[in-house]
Structure 1
């Protein structure tokens, strides 16, 4: 009796295993990967490369006007964040500039100009790309999300700001196996900012003290 029972269990287990192997892989689109990224990633650090592409008007005709895009600059650096609102976005090449938020105030430090600009974070984030990466998980309040298929081995989605008074027309985000890989920021003037991400560490132990901004001595401070 015990032998028959074990044999029956073995047949059932084998059948379940065969069915699991035969099941098709359910591929998650860009929107699902994005929502998982926002909800499951509470902190991160990594590296980025940024390409700035400027649009110039290629035609005098308003109706036939087609923007001609010319690559203008490339920069790179590192980032760290703890959601919501604490982040350090540090440009290292070709010049040093720091965007530093303690969760309440955004500090923009231009080392070459010896200048720090301060902004209220609530006003600075809004529907900006920083709100997507570093803000809360309530993004659908500010953006409409749409899957746009596969490109460059990534699953892409498009975020369209619901507010009309924003500098960005739309933002494309590419994920690969749940990992953030690229962002394309399209502003209302036809300019494009391309961001690629690498060496992202998910949910590292980052201290809140890391995001306390220490005002450099002797800088000009501009409060906005």
Structure 2
């Protein structure tokens, strides 16, 4: 997946009232499932960064995202350039207005292993596909997921919740490059019109349709 389509951002620093050492939680997969299962819809502003293996920032973008489980997702990058990724539950459309190009492909297993789209899937499927470890520090809980399969797009994924609300995620690929996403102004289980997940390709756009 091109760097412009990688989902990422920097984690905001929270001042915790009590500095409690992180402790491992034995039932990480069960705990993550309990936290994700009630999440039917989610929308938030995001700030994303791509960092190389040494931590140097390669790219920073911002925008807004919406998801409705299962399988529906819309990710809009607003700055510094516009880009849209939309899943209607059957297909994923990646639209780049600068290039006047749209790529449409089936929502298959490999695509759902991207961090944005896996959040819109089943929590049970998520924990079936990944080894899950967790730690807690004050009101922050972090879950580290490592894929059980070898053909995924990343080596590990970290989900961070504050007071049981999803606040950030970070993905690391096999080269050590990190894609980090921080969410703000989040709304969980609000009403999202299903039209949000239907994308009408603008006239004159070059359409590339991929099959399984």
Q: What is the correspondence of 1:11-22 to structure 2 with a 5 Å cutoff?
A: none
Higher helix share: 1
CA deviation after TM superposition for structure 1 residue 102, in Å: 0.9
Higher relative contact order (CA 8 A, sep 6+): 2
Aligned to 1:44: 42
Aligned to 1:112: 98
CA deviation after TM superposition for structure 1 residue 133, in Å: 1.4
Larger Rg: 1
Q: Confirm or deny: 8 A CA contact 2:52 2:177 kept in the other structure.
A: yes
* Alpha-carbon distance change, 124 to 161 in structure 1, aligned in 2, over 3 angstroms: closer
Structure 2: gaps (5+ residues): 1-22
For the pair 1:198 / 2:196, whether they are aligned, the reply is no
TM-score (norm 1): 0.76
Aligned equivalent of 1:170, options 147, 156, 168: 156
Please report the RMSD computed on the Cα atoms of aligned residues, expressed in angstroms. 2.2
Aligned equivalent of 1:133, options 119, 134, 140: 119
* Alpha-carbon distance change, 108 to 146 in structure 1, aligned in 2, over 3 angstroms: same
Deviations 1:113-153 (A, max 9, x none): 010001111245332213431112221121111113439x6
SS in 2 for 1:37: helix
Q: Confirm or deny: 8 A CA contact 1:33 1:175 kept in the other structure.
A: no
Deviates more, 1:118-127 or 1:184-193: 118-127
Deviates more, 1:134-143 or 1:30-39: 30-39
Aligned to 2:133: 146
Deviations 1:187-220 (A, max 9, x none): 0111001110111111111222221111111000
Aligned to 1:17: none
TM-score (norm 2): 0.80
Q: For residues 199 and 139 of structure 1, what CA distance do their matches in structure 2 show?
A: 25
Aligned equivalent of 1:161, options 106, 126, 147: 147
Structure 1: gaps (5+ residues): 1-26, 56-67
Deviations 1:13-45 (A, max 9, x none): xxxxxxxxxxxxxx9969466323310010111
For the pair 1:214 / 2:200, whether they are aligned, the reply is yes
Aligned to 2:33: 35
CA deviation after TM superposition for structure 1 residue 174, in Å: 1.0
Q: Confirm or deny: 8 A CA contact 1:52 1:192 kept in the other structure.
A: yes
The alignment covers a number of residue pairs equal to: 185
Deviations 1:99-119 (A, max 9, x none): 011111100000100100011
